[in-house]
Chains A and B, each alone.
Chain A
Amino acid sequence: MGTQVGTQTIKFDNMPKIVSHAAIVGPKEGEGPLASYFDQILEDVLWGEDSWEKAESKILKEAVLMSIKKASLNLSDIRYIFSGDLLSQLIGTSFALRPLGVPFFGVYGACSTMGESLILAAMTVEAGFADYCLATTSSHFCGAEKQFRFPLEYGSQRPPTSTWTVTGSGAVIVSKIGTGPKITYAIPGKIVDLGAMDPMDMGAVMAPAAADTIVSFFKDTGKQPSDLDLIATGDLGKYGSKLLIELVKKEGYDLTSNYIDCGMEIFDSESQNTLAGGSGCGCSAVTLAGYILEKMEDKEINKLLFVPTGAMLSTVSSNEGESIPGIAHGVVLEN
C-alpha cells in the first residue's frame, strides 16, 4: 500500500505500471513536431461524424480501444475507466464510453484531467481494487471554441497569449503487473488562484498552480529538480512557462535545465500560428501517451515529473466577474 509523504504527496510502494499507451490526434497536431510519435493522425477533425462533440467522443473511444489492443488485452480486462473532457457534463467522455460497458468514473480537472485520471487509476491499482485501470481524456479544438469562446466562423482576433486547443485523445493503461514505466509518486493539486482574470491568457492563470504542485513535491520528498530527467507541464504555453520558472525560483528551485511544456512541444507556434502554444485536456494527454512515454520506453527519459495544468473557469464564472482558479496534478514516472 502507498504511503503519505509530507503534506500532499503519495508514494506508491507497489508502483503500478503503465503497460500501454495510445494517442490519436487531429490533422493540425499531425503537422506538428511530434507527428511521428502519434498512433493515428486524422485527416479530418470530424472523422466522419456530423458534430464536433460526436467527433471528440469517437476519438476518445478509439484511443481507449487502441490502448487496449496495443497491450493485447480485452475490454473485459479493464476494471475501471477514469476519464473526463472539457464539454459540459462530460458528454465527450460519457458518450464515448456508452458502448463499452466498463465501470466509469467521470473526472473534471479542465486541462489537468490526464493527471487526475492517472492518479486515481494508480491509487485504485495500488490499493488492490483493480488489476487494470484505464486513464484517458480528450479535447477538440472546434468543440472547445464553440463552448468557451466564439463560433468558429466569427471573425475575432487572438491575442498573443492565447492558446490553441489540441484535438486528440491520449489513453494509458495502469496495471498491477507487466512492464512499463512505474508510477512512483503522485501529487494531487490544490486549487490556486492568484487573481488572474484574463481567459485569453491561461498560462498566467495556471502557472501558480503548477508552481504550487511542483514545489510541494520537492518539499514533501526532499528531492531536487536535478533528481529528475524531465519535468513536463501540461499547457502553460510560452509565457506561462516563464512565469512558472520564475515562481518556482522564488521558492529556491531551478527548472531551467530540464523543463518542457507539452503545449510548446506539440505545435511549432511560428509556422502553425498557435501563438502561445497548445492547450486542452488532449494537449498533455497525447504528448504523454505519444511522445513522452515512447521516450521513456527508449530509456531516453528515466525519471519524469508530469504536471498537467487546468483552468477551472466556465463562461458563467467569467461573466460573473470571478477570477480564474488553476489546478495542477503531478505524477512521477520512473523506469
Chain B
Amino acid sequence: MKSSGSEKKKEYDKMVQNTSPKPKLLINCVKAFVVGGAICVLGQIIINVLKYWDFNKDDAAMITSMFLIFLGSLFTGLDLYDSLGEFAGAGSIIPITGFANSIVASAIEFKKEGYVLGVGAKMFTIAGPVIVYGTISSVVVGIIYFFFGG
C-alpha cells in the first residue's frame, strides 16, 4: 500500500522532526542575552561619557550609534565579528553593531566584483530591507500622527 503524496510528505516531516536536532535554545538564549546586554552596556557607557562632556541627549544618542557602527565595522574587517556571531547569535545580530556587520561583510565580500557593481550595489543586500521597511513605517507613523495625533 502506497500512501498518497501529501500524506507521505507529512509522514516524512514527522520523521525529520524526530531526527534533526533543534538548536540548543537555552544556551543560545543565555549567550544572546549576555552578549546583547553587554553591547548595550557599552552603548550606555559611551552615552554617559558624552553627556559628561556636555552633549545633549539627542546628540549623545546619535554619536553613540555612529561609534557603535564604527566598532561593528572595524571588528567585521578584522575577521572577528563572524566568530562573535557564531557564538552569540541574535546577541550580536540585533544590536546596531550587527547592522554594521551585515553592511561591511557584504561590502568586503563583493569587492572582487568591483567598487561600483560589487561594493556599491551589494553593500545593502542584507541590511537594505531594514532601511526600506524602517523608512516606510516611519512615513506611515508620520501620516497617522499628522491626522490623528498631536
Contacts and interface: CB of A to CB of B under 8 A. Distances in A.
Identify the interface centre among B20, B76, B86, B101: most chain A CB within 10 Å of its CB: B20
Contacts of B8: 194
Given A151-B108, A154-B82, A154-B85, A160 B101 contact: no
Contacts of A101: none
A154 B102 contact: yes
B85 A208 contact: no
B13 A195 contact: yes
Contact of A146 (B13, B85, B109): B109
B150 interface: no
Interface string A154-177: 111111110000000000000000
B7 to A, nearest CB: 11
Interface residues of B, number: 38
A204 interface: yes
Contacts of B92: 155
Contact of A242 (B19, B77, B112): B19
B93 A156 contact: yes
A152 B106 CA distance: 8
Interface in A129-165: 146, 150-161
B46 interface: no
A155 B81 contact: yes
B108 A50 contact: no
B129 interface: no
Contacts of A159: 22-23
A51 interface: yes
Interface in B20-76: 20-24, 28, 76
B20 A194 contact: no
B130 interface: no
Nearest to B31: A157
B19 A239 contact: yes
A201 B102 CA distance: 23
A50 B112 CA distance: 8
A243 B86 contact: no
A189 interface: no
B68 to A, nearest CB: 14
Indicate the member of B19, B22, B109 with the most A CB atoms within 10 Å.
Answer: B19
- For the complex of A and B, 9 pairs with smallest distance between CB atoms: A155-B85, A151-B109, A195-B9, A153-B105, A154-B105, A151-B105, A157-B89, A194-B12, A204-B16
